Amino acid sequence: MAASTTRLSTLYPHIPPSAIESFHAHLASSTRVLALLGAGLSASSGLPTFRGAGGLWRTHEATDLATPQAFSADPGLVWQFYSYRRHMALNVKPNMAHYALAEFAKKMPGFQTLSQNVDGLSPRAGHPAEQLKLLHGSLFDVKCHNFFCNYVETANYTDPIVPALALPTDEDVDLTTNAAREASREARELDIADISVALPDVPETALPHCPSCGGLLRPGVVWFGESLPAGVLETVDAFLEDPLGVDLILVIGTSARVFPAAGYIEIARSRGARVAVINTEMDLPPGQLTKDDWFFQGDAAVIVPELLRPVVGDLEGVEEKL
């Protein structure tokens, strides 16, 4: 029994060794692989998610803040929400699944990843940009809100993006004590997601502005009511329509119930792919799975590196190399 099979079977006794071995056998013969990534992958890094109805930030439905209309009505509030999310994402690290997928991309030219996540963790893990398509954009891209301006800035990791969006700190701390003087600002930051914490007033003049036209900059994510990036969709469609077909589709941390991601599984299957789902919950994609597919229930940060180990090898120390 391979070492990775033994490790997974020890950690997750409910996963049959035969399933791991059959996956590895198929992986060894695969040259064209597609991965769909969802919020469950980021949860393994300890990142809180705001998913769907009921995902509250303070008293606001998170989905209500993710619209062009909300930004036009109250850009300060929307920027505070997204600055908070940027801050939270920058305070966690990519997990071993992110690193394993990044290494897999470097070793397999026929590997394409479609991520529904906006948290920037896959890019920070060194995932090659040409093999990583972001369906919903990124928290760390910004663009001009002015319809007539095309200014876009990518990979802006400044936190906060402007001083006015810095998280408030506990002003009641006695800064005359040694302990307080030694405490970092981060240790004194207040959680503005907590409704008991007063939300600072941020005037529009203090928000990020476009260096090209002077208009307001906005987060470079796809909001509700906006079109998904055409270039991303075209790339994935071309990958699926390639005459070489698809050998394997990895569905990681998502139930893939929202289109267009929901449709990619059956399209890939029709192109010859077998399906492997890795998720903490028994939340299967539409159409369920066939006897030729796999479902690995557990933490993606643990399972994905072991599933990909025959290709990526031992990832110990990979974080320090990036």
Cβ density class 38-68: b for 16+ within 10 Å, e for less: bbbbbbbbebebbeeeeeebbebebbbbbee
User: Is residue 72 part of an annotated ligand binding site?
Assistant: no
Instruction: Please give the pLDDT value at position 52.
Output: 44
Q: Band of the pLDDT at 282, cuts 50, 70, 90?
A: confident
**Residue 63 covered by a domain:** yes
For residue 139, pLDDT beyond 60: yes
**Residue 179 covered by a domain:** no
Catalytic residue flag (residue 145): no
Judgement on whether residues 289 and 148 belong to the same structural domain of the protein: no
Domain with residue 198: its CATH number is 3.30.1600.10
Judgement on whether residues 250 and 193 belong to the same structural domain of the protein: no
Instruction: Please give the pLDDT value at position 61.
Output: 85
Could you tell me the residue range of the domain that residue 77 belongs to?
50-91+138-174+185-221
User: Is residue 149 part of an annotated ligand binding site?
Assistant: yes
Judgement on whether residues 32 and 99 belong to the same structural domain of the protein: yes
Domain with residue 313: its CATH number is 3.40.50.1220
User: Is residue 210 part of an annotated ligand binding site?
Assistant: yes
**Considering only CA atoms, which of 274, 272, 34 is closest in space to residue 132?**
34
> Which region among 32-46, 95-109, 158-172 has the lowest average model confidence (pLDDT)?
158-172
Averaged confidence pLDDT in the chain = 89
Overall average pLDDT of the 81-102 stretch: 96
Instruction: Tell me which of 87, 98, 127, 136 is the catalytic residue.
Output: 136
Q: Is the pTM of this model over 0.95?
A: no
Instruction: Please give the pLDDT value at position 173.
Output: 47
Split into its structural domains, the chain has a count of 2
Instruction: Please give the pLDDT value at position 290.
Output: 87
